[in-house]
Amino acid sequence: MGIASLKLASGQEILLFGEEDDENSLWYTGNIKQNPHYSIQLITDNIEQLRSDLIRSGVSVGEITVGVVGDRLMMFYDPYGNRFWANEPKKRR
């Protein structure tokens, strides 16, 4: 996925995506020339706890939603307006 990928020895992966025009996309950038920002996605195994911790810390946090493949997603912002996503992957059996 993405336009570039770096897999670390620990198993973590860093992905680079290009901007998209679809406002419903995780990688929507809007008018990037007028409002440049980055979007970083984090993987968690407890999105509710992460959301509670972020809210308690005063972070602007969105609602938890369910993605197309069943992953639970949540958007949040740093004080500079950079967008972050948390993803709790659907448990695979």
**What are the φ and ψ backbone dihedral angles of 52, each rounded to 5 degrees?**
-60, -45
74 assigned to some structural domain: yes
Q: Determine the Cα–Cα distance for residues 58 and 66; give it in Å rounded to an integer.
A: 24
Rounded-to-integer distance, Cα 19 and Cα 82, Å: 14
Average pLDDT over residues 86-91: 88
Alpha-carbon gap, residue 59 to 91, rounded angstroms: 27
The predicted-structure confidence for 37-83, as pLDDT tens digits, reads as follows 556 788 899 999 999 999 999 999 999 999 888 999 999 988 877 77
Residue 93 forms part of a structural domain: no
Single pTM value for the model = 0.66
Range of the domain at 74: 4-88
Query: How many domains does the chain contain in total?
Result: 1
CATH of residue 13's domain is 3.10.180.10
Structure tokens belonging to residue 2: 């993405």
- Would you say residue 36 has pLDDT above 60? no
Does residue 76 lie within any of the structural domains?
yes
Residue 59 has what pLDDT?
93
How far out from the chain centre does Cα 21 lie? 17
